[in-house]
Every structure is written in C-alpha cells, then in structure tokens.
Structure 1
Amino acid sequence: MTTSTSTWQQIKTFPQSARLFLLATIINGIIFSTWQLFFNFFILARGYEKDFLGLINSMPSMAGLFFGILLGMLSDRIGRRPAMLIGLAFSTLAMGLQLFIEVKTLLLVVAFLGGLGNSLYFISQAPFMMKVTNPNNRSLMFSLNFGLNTLAGAVGNLFAGQMPGWFGGLLQIPVDSAQAYQMVLLVSVILGFFALIPIFILKEPVKPQNLNEIKVSQWALLKKTVKRGFTWKLVLPEMLLGFGAAITIPYMNLYFSETFQVKSNVLGALFSLSALFVGVGSILGPRLVQKFNSKIRVVVMTQASSLVFLLVLAFSPFAWLAAIGYLLRGMLMNMAVPLYNAFCMENVSESEQGVVNSLISNSWTAGWAIGPFLSGLIQIRYGFQPLFLTTAFIYLLSILSTWIFFHQYERKKLAEDLLIEPGLV
C-alpha cells in the first residue's frame, strides 16, 4: 500500500506537459503495434516478393543509422517539442503514403523518409523527459513511458487482430486480401495523427543555452568517446543483439502464419500477450538485480535462458509450444534490455552519456538496417530454420562478450564501492 501511494504521489507531481507526452506515447504505441502486425502481410498480399519486403523493412533503420547523430543535433537546435512534432507528423504521413504507392522505388524512398521522421521523434523523447521531470520522479517517468508503450501495443494488437475480419465482412472481400490489410493500416494511420494533438498542446521548459557551445561540445565529446576502448566494449554486445534480432523478430507474424497457419486474430492475441509478458519481465528485472547484486549477471542469465526458448520456437512441431517459446523468449531477452542500458549509463561520465547512448543506439540500428533484407533473401531459399540458428549463435556471441568484458569489471567496481562506503571497515 505504501509503495502504491508513493508511486501515485509521484505521478501527481508530473507537470501537464509530462502527462500529455505520456498520452501521445499511448496513442503512438497502439498505432505502431498495428502497423507492425499487418504491414508485412499487406506488402506480400500486393504481390511483392520477400526480398523486397526485407528491403523496405530495412529503410527506416538505414535512415536512423545514417542520419541519427545529425537528427540529434537538429533536435538540440530547434527544441524537443518542435522536433517531436515534425518527426511524428513526417513518419505518420510516410506510413499513409506507403498504403497507396505501388512503384517500388518510391515505396523505398517514402519508407526511408518515414524512418527519418521516426528517428527524430524518438531521439527527442529522452531529452524532453529529462526537462519535464526532477530527480524524484524521473525514474518513474521513464518507466511509465516504456511500460505504457508496451501495454498500448498489447491493446493495439488485440483489437487490430480482429479488424481484417471486420473489414472483410463489411466490404465483402477476403480477410487476407491486400484491401483488407490496407483498410486496417489506413485506420491506424488516421488515428496516428491524433498523437500530434497532445504534443502540440504541451509546453517545453525553456532553458537558454549557447548553441555554438552545444555544437562544439557534441563534436568534442564524440571524438573523445570513440577513441576509448571501453566505449566499443559497451557497443559490441548491442550491435550483435541488434543484428541477431533483425533477421528474425520482424518476421514472427509470417513465421506463425506460414508454419502453423495461425489466423490474424490469434496472432493479435499472441502479440498482445507477448507485450504483457515483456511488461512483467521489466518489473522482475530490478528485483533480480537486488537478489544477485549484479546487473551483468542478471543480463547474462536472462539472455542465456532465452536461447532455450528461441530454439523451442524454431523447431517445435506444435503451434502451442512454439507460442510458449515465443512468449518466454521475448520476456527473458527484453528483461535484460533496460538493465544493460542502466549499466552502460552508470559507467560513463554524465557529460558522455548522450554520446555513448547515441553510439549504442546506432549500433543496434546498424543490425536492423541490413538484417531484414538478408533475412528476406534467406527465407526465399532456405526458410526460417537457418535464420533461427543464426540468431541463436549471434545472441550467444553477444552474451559471451558481455560476460567477458564486464563480469570482473563489475565485481571490482562493486568491491571498490563497498570499501569507500561510509560506516564500513
């Protein structure tokens, strides 16, 4: 009861701008989950091949990879609220255009431009949350943003899974037709523009800064940070995870549909349940850290455990067993994500956190820029099993690198902290 009251009291301290931002997060979470669930089906139903599907799925990540740092600088220059408005409007408009453009080259260009907008929106979120919070409620704000986005995705998948059937009956068209999927995605895009309203209303706290100093500082920190070996130790595990995930995770809907003939409404329910499992995992993660007194140990333990369920997902002859593997794999792997991010931020100076975070984000994006395209090519020739084995192997390399780089480092750092803690002899 005390914890609940304390949490509620912290929420009440949020300014109106923070609450409006969280409202936009909920709306955007619902829309994005619907897009992820049906865009692959829509592209294939229109007659495009899987290699093109892989290419178009790579475009947003390529945009973030090539222009991520520049977009961050743009956000610094124009402010977080304008950057989020422009980014969200641009990405939503690009999503809508993809539903009507049929020329392949134009589709790829629009997907790339939409990726630029999406990157600008998400790059601006964390700095904005830092501005509208204080040290007492900041952790809760970041957690709510993550949790509400996940739960909104669960709700979105649950309702979106029923929508092809609704439009199929209403328009007298097959539920798995391009027209049915197009209508579902169009509804999601139209609703997506409503996320702009709270962003437009909210006010960004103004803190006068010297823009020339910011720019010089950014470049100086970037040069300094990339020369440090420790930075690349932090980056490598995320780079490997990003590529391993990129060749399988975007195609989970196709895998269940083609391998087990799972219907869209069941897929929606499964993806919603997965989001709930991830939410539960995010709550359990910090408790495991308290129990083992180690972030790295928990990260390695949960990620390694997820490999078992990844293989269950890949080679199960039964849909129900594959679904269990999918749920537990997602929960265990994603449980480690915020813990590793926290470890990274704790072990770099405050002035370097933004630079290191952008490098880690770009390393993840690098995998997603090329992974989906390569995956599409492999699926055509060999199916899904080789992709799952490749993902498991790359994940294992990431887990081993995390353990080798940071296990002893963390133990030594914890020991040093104990030695200097007041009251201990």
Structure 2
Amino acid sequence: MGQTTSAFLRTYAEKLHQFSPNARWYLASVVITGASMGVFRLLFNFYVLSQGYDETLLGNLITASSLTALVVALPMGYLADRLGRKRSLILGAAAVSLAVWVMVLLPSAGMFVAMNVLLGLGQSLSGVSMGPFLMENSGDAERTYLFSFSSGFQTASAFVGNWIGGYLPTWIGAAIGVSPMATLAYGGALMVIASVAALGIVPLLALRTPKLSASQRSAFAPLTYFGSHAGILSKLVLPMLVTSIGAGLIMPFMNVFFRTVHHQPDPVIGSMFAWGSLAMGVGLLIAPPLADRFGKIQLVVVTQALSIPFLALLGFAPWFGLSALAYYFRLALMNMSGPVYQTFVMEHVDAEGRATVASLVSMASNFGWAISPTVSGWMQVRYGFDPAFAGTILLYTLSVALYWWFFWKSPRKMSLPARRRI
C-alpha cells in the first residue's frame, strides 16, 4: 500500500513538473474562480427564494443561462479563435463576475433573467476556449493529467468556497444586524464572491498565447467541419447530451432538495457541498492513472454506471445521513471521468476543428440544463422531487449504455479523423 501510494505521488510530481507556464497560470485562475463559483452555486438559489420567488423562477433562470450558452456555442467557438485563447478566457471571466454584481445591485426577476443570459455568454466563451487551450499547452504524456487537474482544482477549491459559503450569510447578517436568511445577508455574500471571482482574471493576464489571424479561419468553418464529420461527432456528443438532460432535472436543485426534503439549514448544506466538492476533486485527481491503466472509455463506463445506484439512494433514502453519504459517492463517481472523456474527444480531432468540437461539447452539456430545470421546477412545485430523480436515473442509464455501445463494444466502428500535433 505504501509503495503504491509513493508511486502514485511520484507520477503526479512528474506530470506537474511537465506542465507549461501557461498551464500553471490557468490552474491558478481555476482555483480562485472555483472557490468563488462554489459559493455562488450554493447561495444564489437561496438569494432568489429569499425575495419571495419560487422554484419555477429558479428553473427559468438556469434555463436562461444554459439556453444562452447552447445557442451561442458555435459563434463563441468562432469568436474564441478570432480573439485568441487569452482574450477569450479573460472576457468570459469578466462577464461572469459582472453578471453576479448586477444581480445583487439591481435585483428583479427581469434583471435576474438578463444577467443569467450574460452569465451564459461568459461561461460559453470560457468553456469553448478551455479545451483547445489545454490541448495547445500540453503534450501527450501529461495531457490527461492537465485536463483532470483543471477540473479537480476547480472542484477542490470549491470545497473551501462551499464551506465558507455556508457561513458567509451568517457572518454578514451578524455584521449588519439582519437574519442570516435575509435578502441583505445573501446579497452581501454574493457581492463578496463576485469580487473574488474578478481576482481570477489576474493570473490570466500572464498567459502567452498566439492569436489566429482572420485568414486562418473561415466564418463557415464550424458548419463545414461538422458537415464533414457528422457521424463521428454525433457519437462523441450524443451520450453527453443525454447526461445533461438528466443532470438538469436534479443537479441545479440539490441545495433546495436538502432544505425542503431533509430540512437542513444553510451551514449544514454548505458543509455538505464543501465535502462533496472535495470528494469530487479527489475523484478527478485519481482518474488519470486509472485511465492510463484501464483505458479512457472503460473508466467512463464503469464509474458512471457505478454512480447510478447511489443516485437512487440519494433521491429516495428516508434518512438524511444515508442520502448525504450517497450524495458524496454519486458526485465523485459520476464526475471523475468527465475530463478523461473530454481529453479523449480533443485528442481525436484536427487542430483546426478543436474550437468547433468544443462548441458542440458545450452545446451538448448545456442543452439539458437549458430545458430540464424549467421542467423540473414545474414538477417540484406540483409533485415534489421523486419524478425528477426517476427521470435522471433513466437518462443516466441510457447515457452509460451509449458510451458502452459506441466506444467499448464496437470501437472499430468509429473511424476518427487523424490527429495533428501542434
């Protein structure tokens, strides 16, 4: 056991040493934004509910940001190539921080919707830039580790963010003399994290990345690339699309679920989210050596399949402790293979098609989150959480079956385009 741990740590030390300066600056930004957005995801729903709105509006807001990211994904891929990776990442981060600030300073249903649209724009631009940026700043040996570190650092830093976020309204409420569940307490907490999110831009300023000239990219390149590889790209993206539809039914409402079903206060939920982020971060960090040993697709299928029983236990367990335990295992298992699969996708597309494929991946990831939360919010108001959990279980099962069918059972049926080294 000791030798295995030593070998594991040695491998990680070697991979970290191979990371480029650009990659390290990017990871520094990820740590800052991960912590701040962990607080945002924990508290924003409560902030909206504290103003008298219900879960229907929450679903509509999630739909607004995700639908925006879905609609603009291809144009953002084109824009990311025109602006360059550095400018795209900075602009995306700035848009997210600004959106949170405005929602606190000018709270209303209309402004919430408008700023969630801006949030979707910023997240889309950052999202479609991230995969190509990591590909362009890594080699074959450390690439899977860099993708997993990017996600792992983000979720591990959210451990700190979620823990602090659970107590931040209490601290701010005490300072200004209001209840921890008052709108002013939640708003003050969100203003703090919007400021911290803005600090995440600072490491991005140190990036050194080339900008593609206008002649290097046609305005119709995304459509042309998709038309040339439609069958292959459909297989790569379809399982992610099914997963996102299922995730959108439940995942945006986990804080509301633990409050309404298990009657837990904000500090407990914040601590749960914090430990959940840590569990997910650990899962992401151990995924690369497992993928090296067993194969990328094998890791995806096995870990996501194992997460489904824990999802059922999370949604239908009668006791909070059992539900919370299932929450940790489901979170780690379901998400640990995400960067591994993203690496698999990016490794098998041409250099000039990476922004386009990143856009398609973003569209698939956001499609379910654009549609499902509105449906789920409506169901929760009328029927509670049970139908939403049942739908998620069914869709996750289908997604795992698709991964297995397309890439494990019949890998030779998929002829991927040749990968170019850059």
Q: What TM-score, normalized to structure 1? A: 0.88
Match of 1:302 in 2: 303
Match of 1:344 in 2: 345
Shift in alpha-carbon separation, 1:260–1:112, aligned structure 2, 3 A:
same
Indicate the structure (1 or 2) with the bigger Cα radius of gyration.
1
1:79-126 Cα distance to aligned partner (Å, 9 max, x none)? 122222222112211111111323322321121022102221232223
CA distance in 1, matches of 2:302, 2:13: 32
Show structure 2 runs of 5+ residues with no match. 1-5, 415-422
Q: Give the deviation of 1:151 after TM superposition.
A: 0.9
Match of 1:213 in 2: 216
CA distance in 2, matches of 1:367, 1:409: 27
Match of 2:418 in 1: none
Match of 1:325 in 2: 326
Shift in alpha-carbon separation, 1:92–1:62, aligned structure 2, 3 A:
same
Shift in alpha-carbon separation, 1:294–1:412, aligned structure 2, 3 A:
farther
1:399 maps onto 2:404 in alignment: no
Q: Give the deviation of 1:359 after TM superposition.
A: 1.5
Shift in alpha-carbon separation, 1:20–1:284, aligned structure 2, 3 A:
closer
Amino acid at match of 1:252: M
- For the residue of structure 1 that corresponds to 2:217, the secondary structure is helix
Match of 1:222 in 2: 226
Shift in alpha-carbon separation, 1:284–1:6, aligned structure 2, 3 A:
closer
Whether contact under 8 Å (2:144, 2:339) holds in the other structure is: no
Match of 2:71 in 1: 66
CA distance in 2, matches of 1:170, 1:339: 44
CA distance in 2, matches of 1:305, 1:10: 28
Q: Could you tell me which of 22, 33, 39 is aligned with 2:38?
A: 33
Q: Give the deviation of 1:71 after TM superposition.
A: 1.1
1:224-279 Cα distance to aligned partner (Å, 9 max, x none)? 123x2x32122221111001001100100010011111121111111111112212
Q: Give the deviation of 1:353 after TM superposition.
A: 4.5
Match of 1:143 in 2: 148
Amino acid at match of 2:261: T
CA distance in 2, matches of 1:67, 1:353: 16
Shift in alpha-carbon separation, 1:211–1:282, aligned structure 2, 3 A:
same
Please list, as runs of the form range in 1=range in 2, the aligned pairs for 1:148-227 lying within 5 A after superposition: 148-200=153-205, 202-206=206-210, 209-215=212-218, 217-226=221-230
Match of 2:241 in 1: 239
Instruction: Tell me the number of residue pairs that the alignment of Structure 1 and Structure 2 aligns.
Output: 409
Q: Give the deviation of 1:6 after TM superposition.
A: 5.9
CA distance in 1, matches of 2:181, 2:64: 25
Match of 2:420 in 1: none
Shift in alpha-carbon separation, 1:6–1:401, aligned structure 2, 3 A:
closer
Match of 1:365 in 2: 366
CA distance in 2, matches of 1:3, 1:304: 25
Q: Give the deviation of 1:335 after TM superposition.
A: 2.4
Q: Could you tell me which of 271, 274, 277 is aligned with 1:272?
A: 274
Q: Which moved more, 1:46-55 or 1:334-343?
A: 334-343
1:95 maps onto 2:97 in alignment: no
Match of 2:114 in 1: 109
Whether contact under 8 Å (1:273, 1:327) holds in the other structure is: yes
CA distance in 1, matches of 2:94, 2:288: 35
Q: Give the deviation of 1:193 after TM superposition.
A: 1.5
Q: Give the deviation of 1:388 after TM superposition.
A: 0.4
CA distance in 1, matches of 2:20, 2:365: 32
Shift in alpha-carbon separation, 1:171–1:193, aligned structure 2, 3 A:
same
CA distance in 2, matches of 1:159, 1:409: 47
Whether contact under 8 Å (1:35, 1:188) holds in the other structure is: yes
Match of 1:259 in 2: 261
Q: Give the deviation of 1:40 after TM superposition.
A: 0.3
Amino acid at match of 2:229: T
CA distance in 2, matches of 1:389, 1:9: 43
Q: Give the deviation of 1:280 after TM superposition.
A: 2.5
Match of 2:378 in 1: 377
Amino acid at match of 2:339: P
Shift in alpha-carbon separation, 1:165–1:375, aligned structure 2, 3 A:
same
Shift in alpha-carbon separation, 1:142–1:231, aligned structure 2, 3 A:
closer
- For the residue of structure 2 that corresponds to 1:260, the secondary structure is coil
CA distance in 1, matches of 2:239, 2:133: 27
- For the residue of structure 2 that corresponds to 1:161, the secondary structure is helix
CA distance in 1, matches of 2:8, 2:306: 30
Q: Give the deviation of 1:217 after TM superposition.
A: 4.2
CA distance in 2, matches of 1:73, 1:137: 27
Whether contact under 8 Å (2:46, 2:186) holds in the other structure is: yes
1:120-150 Cα distance to aligned partner (Å, 9 max, x none)? 1232223333444444554443332222111
- For the residue of structure 1 that corresponds to 2:130, the secondary structure is helix
Shift in alpha-carbon separation, 1:295–1:96, aligned structure 2, 3 A:
same
Q: Which moved more, 1:126-135 or 1:110-119?
A: 126-135
Q: Give the deviation of 1:402 after TM superposition.
A: 2.2
Q: Which moved more, 1:391-400 or 1:96-105?
A: 96-105
RMSD: 2.5
Shift in alpha-carbon separation, 1:233–1:122, aligned structure 2, 3 A:
closer
Q: Could you tell me which of 277, 280, 283 is aligned with 1:281?
A: 283
- For the residue of structure 2 that corresponds to 1:81, the secondary structure is helix
Shift in alpha-carbon separation, 1:196–1:340, aligned structure 2, 3 A:
closer
Q: Give the deviation of 1:56 after TM superposition.
A: 0.9
- For the residue of structure 2 that corresponds to 1:99, the secondary structure is helix
Whether contact under 8 Å (2:78, 2:355) holds in the other structure is: no
1:46 maps onto 2:48 in alignment: no
1:315-335 Cα distance to aligned partner (Å, 9 max, x none)? 111110000111111111112
Amino acid at match of 2:336: M
Whether contact under 8 Å (1:225, 1:355) holds in the other structure is: no
